[in-house]
Structure 1
Amino acid sequence: MRGSTMDLSDAQWRKSGRSTGGNCVEVAVVPGDATTVVHKAGSDHLYLVRDSKDPKGPALAFTRSEWDAFVGGVKDGEFD
């Protein structure tokens, strides 16, 4: 979240148990905060994704409906 002041120090980042070699993405669920992620205002929670090789780098933020659409696409093979 470039330019964000959201404190992610308490976020519990997770990655797939199938991940090997350190080239992974990590996911965390955090409370929504409209003051730091204005375009996601009104979201109770945000689903964050970051590169495991750059834990202090940027994270992408998704609402629940955006996250559900992504997970559904993965399950349906849309990204294969």
Structure 2
Amino acid sequence: MQIDPDMPLHWIKRCADTACIEVAQHDTGIHMRDSKDPDGPVLTFTGEQWVSFTAAVAAGEFDRD
């Protein structure tokens, strides 16, 4: 999704080891991007999708062996 440059977003940065993401909540959804590429692609989640995604992360579903 291309973010409208006039849409005010407050990005919050979170890191795990050396990987960092930024997350912003807005009426249009919850947006996530790579902190090293702020002009790059943005993932957009509905509230329900965000809850499912964060639960999967907490459960280790994306952990690498």
Task: Tell me the TM-score normalized by structure 1.
Answer: 0.64
Structure 2 counterpart of 1:12, one-letter code: H
Give aligned-pair identity as a percent: 40
2:51 corresponds to which of 68, 72, 80? 68
Question: In the TM superposition, what is the alpha-carbon distance from 1:7 to its structure 2 partner?
Answer: 3.0
Q: CA RMSD in A?
A: 2.1
| Residue 30 in structure 1 maps to residue 26 in structure 2 | yes
Question: In the TM superposition, what is the alpha-carbon distance from 1:6 to its structure 2 partner?
Answer: 2.1
Q: Judging changes above 3 Å, is the alpha-carbon distance between structure 1 residues 25 and 13 closer, same or farther for their aligned structure 2 residues?
A: same
Aligned to 1:51: 34
Report the structure number with the largest CA radius of gyration: 1
Question: In the TM superposition, what is the alpha-carbon distance from 1:11 to its structure 2 partner?
Answer: 0.6
Question: In the TM superposition, what is the alpha-carbon distance from 1:55 to its structure 2 partner?
Answer: 1.0
Give ranges in structure 2 of 5+ residues lacking alignment: none
Task: Tell me the TM-score normalized by structure 2.
Answer: 0.76
**Relative contact order higher in (CA < 8 Å, ≥ 6 apart):** 1
How many aligned positions are there?
A: 63
Give ranges in structure 1 of 5+ residues lacking alignment: 33-45
